[in-house]
Amino acid sequence: MNRDQVINFAPGPAKLPQEVLEQAQKEMLSYNNLGISVMEMSHRSSDFSKIINNAENLLRELLQIPDNYKVLYLQGGGTGQFSAVPLNLLNLKEGHTADYIVTGAWSAKAAKEAEKYGKVNVVYPKLDKYTTIPDESSWTLSPEASYVYYCANETIHGVEFQFVPETNGVPLVADMSSNILTRPVDISKFGLIYAGAQKNIGCAGVTLVIVRDDLIGHAMKECPSVLDYKNQVGMNSMFNTPPTWSIYIMGLVFQWLKSIGGAAAMEELNRKKSEAVYSTIDSLPDFYFCPVDKPARSRMNVPFRIGSPTGDETLEKRFLEEAQKRGFVSLKGHRSVGGLRASLYNAVTAQDVDKLVSFMREFHQVNQ
């Protein structure tokens, strides 16, 4: 199959905008008529400085990032930030305590990692299953916490916050790896935001960190130098050789986002896309099943089962086989939960979703 025959619903690394790939293809062998690829370019060169500075300027414009926040382009993925966050922030208060709002696999892993460095308070009893977000009135937040941590969108379980948690002045840390720039966000409500690029804003290899100035410079002595935000800020994300190509691609994605209306335009598009899939599932309640409570349903990752709430293995296997024939790829659910999952990130078009929904309705007609 060629690219025009495939629709990629992968959870990450995920689909990139066609315009971005074409621009990268055009500049692959000779960037800006320099005769070398970005992949061959010195990260200390003036040409790469322009690339990384342009990416930051575009991001600041797209998210309206206040001047008292720094932007970093780091390695290690979101998983690296599971360690970097506590190593940099637990020292903010003597108790070395952090509050964690655990709503899925990724926030659970982050909490477990943070336990290596200090005391972790999970703000409500462990959930039997990750299908909801407990009401804020049931949370027990510690006023002595150095920070409050949550994952804004859980890709595996399809759980997304539709609100920003209230922390009563304690710095709020958000893992936005799978929903950054899918809607406007008030950066000033956060102490730190991080996001792996490979879902909505680029390709794998770079992790974006947006951190408020007053949270920089408090790293524990055990913190590896490469994870210390102060070191990375002081070297403009070049404490070590940065992921140059991934930063370049991220800049192209930011430019593409700006050209189509930015986060506000994406919010409306993503609402329509996710509503189309959920309405299809809900309109066929004896055939398709979404396990997530409606208020917590993710706009980015839609998990579902076929045949019963726990899934009919034969039907689900047939669905994936038929989908593959139609050019729909990466619809299989995460191995830890099974079933099916459609990821609807920014680069997935409304037309892509329309085709998926039509297939889902057709599959129901044939297999009901």
- The CA distance from 98 to 85, in Å, is 10
Q: What is the distance between the alpha carbons of residues 301 and 299, in angstroms, rounded to a whole number?
A: 6
For the segment 327-351, what is each residue's pLDDT rounded down to a tens digit?
999 999 999 999 999 999 999 999 9
Closest by CA position to 160, among listed 180, 137, 132, 128: 132
Active-site entry in 70, 93, 99, 106? 106
Look at residue 126 and tell me whether its pLDDT is greater than 80. yes
User: Residues 15, 93, 175, 256: which is the catalytic one?
Assistant: 175
Catalytic residue among 93, 199, 273, 332: 199
pTM of the model: 0.97
C-alpha separations of 234 from 71, 217, 225, 358 in Å? 11, 11, 12, 52
Q: How many CB atoms lie within 10 A of CB 234?
A: 13
256 is catalytic: no
- Over residues 242-266, the pLDDT tens digits come to 999 999 999 999 999 999 999 999 9
* Distance in angstroms (rounded) separating the CA atoms of residues 67 and 60: 9
Please state, as a whole number, how many other Cβ atoms lie within 10 Å of the Cβ of residue 302. Answer: 26
Evaluated on CA atoms 306, 308, 313, 318, the torsion sign reads negative
Which helix (H) or strand (E) element contains residue 234?
A: helix 229-234
Q: Is 135 left (phi over 0), alpha (psi -120 to 50) or beta?
A: beta
In this model, does residue 1 exceed pLDDT 80?
A: no
Contact in structure between 83 and 62 (CB atoms under 8 Å): no
Q: Inform me whether the pLDDT recorded for 3 exceeds 90.
A: no
pLDDT value for 246: 98
Q: List residues bridging with 148 in a β-sheet.
A: 99, 172
Please check whether residue 232 is in contact with residue 72, taking contact to mean a CB–CB distance below 8 angstroms. yes
- Express each pLDDT in 130-162 by its tens digit: 999 999 999 999 999 999 999 999 999 999 999
For this structure, is 293 an active site residue? no
Q: Tell me what pLDDT residue 328 has.
A: 98
Mean pLDDT, residues 21-47: 97
Convert the pLDDT of each residue in 271-283 to its tens digit: 999 999 999 999 9
Q: Assess contact for 202 and 221: CB atoms under 8 A.
A: no
Specify whether the CB–CB gap between 337 and 192 falls below 8 A. no
